Amino acid sequence: MSDSPFGRVFGPLTYRSIPGYGIIPNKESAVLQATYTIMALNGAVFIAWQAAQSGNPELLKGLEKHFTASSNNWQRGRYWTLLTSAFSHRSVGHITGNLVALRTFGRALSWIPGVGLLHFMSLTLGSAIAGSAAWLWQKRRAVGIVTQGRMLRNGSTVYSLGSHVQEMMLGASGLVAGAGAAATCLMPFAEMQVAPLPFPVPLWMVTAGYAAWDTYMLRAETSQVAHAAHLGGVLFGIAYYLAFLRKLGNGGVWRFLMEKLW
């Protein structure tokens, strides 16, 4: 199961940092409406989890089958769980952290002229799927490494996967990471308040720091965070930016690099 660090550190992007990125939209922005819709869907599934865990085993089984990513669900043809798992949270801390971060990045993306509903939904849903796929790939790889096994005295192979091989994954962290990566590429020098620092830091530094930490923690045996899902979302967000968003707004990272290189 994935726990989210986002809500513990992310504060709002400061308005003074966004000249050139576009005007701040009104509350009718399609991107903001989509952001709140995703948040509401996450909230609805969260309520279902609470009801299931309060003594409804049939509902619990249904949620595990249709709203978590796992090797078992994949092998049984429940491919939609690559997406639906990103709308699924069991704990208050997990959903709060992810939704705070989603709102922050949704607002940031809504500032960029040209980032409309189609781009936002393609980015977020694609990041969710990429994050789940990356986690599944890492899990299958970990299983393959472990099941090569050490031999017991009786010659049997050890198939115990250890505490570091997670059985299922849920949460919007991959979706959020992809949205954050795209926002970073579009406005790398926008400032973000990060607790407990008393001063804001550039968005590129926050994103790079998280990506470095997730990379470092990929093989951690005791971590309960789906680091591979975060990295999958980040990679999709960067790829989507390069393919479709690099000419929007003031160009962001792409324009900055082209000016420096050429």
Q: What is the mean pLDDT of each run of 10 residues along the chain (262 residues)?
A: 46 43 58 98 98 96 97 96 98 96 95 95 98 93 51 32 61 98 96 84 95 91 86 98 93 81 72
Structure confidence at residue 9 (pLDDT): 42
Write the CATH number for 33: 1.20.1540.10
Report how far residue 44's alpha carbon sits from residue 198's, in angstroms, rounded to the nearest whole number: 35
Q: Is residue 152 part of a domain?
A: no
Structure confidence at residue 28 (pLDDT): 57
Q: Is residue 14 part of a domain?
A: yes
Q: Is residue 238 part of a domain?
A: yes
Q: Is residue 104 part of a domain?
A: yes
Tally of structural domains, the chain? 1
Residue 27 in 3-state DSSP? coil
Structure confidence at residue 109 (pLDDT): 96
Structure confidence at residue 220 (pLDDT): 80
- Which residues constitute the domain of residue 42? 6-146+157-261
54 CB-contact burial (10 Å; exposed 0-12 / middle 13-18 / buried 19+): exposed
The single-letter DSSP state of residue 78 is -
**Nearest Cα to 226, choosing from 148, 162, 139, 145?**
139
Structure confidence at residue 3 (pLDDT): 52
Structure confidence at residue 6 (pLDDT): 46
In sequence order, which residues have a C-beta less than 8 Å from that of residue 149 and are 6 or more positions away? 157, 158, 159
Q: Is residue 200 part of a domain?
A: yes
Q: Is residue 31 part of a domain?
A: yes
pTM for the structure as a whole: 0.83
Beta bridge partners of 13: 192
